[in-house]
Amino acid sequence: LALGFSLVLGLMVVSVGYSHLQLQKLHGELQYLMDLQQRANLADTWRAQIALNSTRTMALAKSANHPDVVAHFEPLVKQTSELISSTQKELEKLVDSAKGKAHLAKIAELRATYRGAREDVFKALKAGDEIVVAKQAKDTQQIRDITDMNRSPRGRQAVER
């Protein structure tokens, strides 16, 4: 009877030890998944803010620099640009693969182009020239095309790693 009890007790200790190891492994995998979700959420926020500023810029352009529209949207554009920059820096810290970093670098390059085009739009509108608006729309579409890749599983893997 004592031998049987010892055997059951020994099996129980082995079972608890194995279960504990599996729980530790699961905890690491859960943390990895939470990190991936955080990166995906940051990328989505970043993309949405870029689209929002693009829309605001187009509203300014289409209003032909109407003073009321400018007074409403200019501070919002600046505030959102700061949010985009901070989100981009946070996302760059989380992405650690060479492929993901190259992807983010391309988006940052296009964003710089977009910001330059946006400033050109503002200057052109102040000067009464509306031709620059078409270039800004093209640059914005390029950013959308690249960030849309994040929505596909393959593109999202590139940024998330």
CB 87 within 8 A of CB 45: yes
Of 158, 52, 56, which Cα lies nearest the Cα of 107? 158
CB neighbours of 157 closer than 8 A, spacing ≥ 6?
A: none
Name the least confident of 1-15, 74-88, 107-121, 123-137. Answer: 123-137
The dihedrals phi and psi of 14, each to the nearest 5 degrees, come to: -65, -45
pLDDT tens digits along 54-113: 888 888 877 877 889 889 998 998 999 899 889 888 888 888 888 888 888 888 888 888
The mean pLDDT of 16-22, rounded to a whole number, is: 93
Count the neighbouring beta carbons within 10 Å of the beta carbon of residue 114. 23
Task: Please provide the average confidence, as pLDDT, over all residues in the chain.
Answer: 80
158 vs 6: CA distance, rounded Å:
53
pTM of the model: 0.63
So what's the pLDDT on residue 82? 92
Cα three-residue angle 73-146-97, rounded to 5 degrees: 115
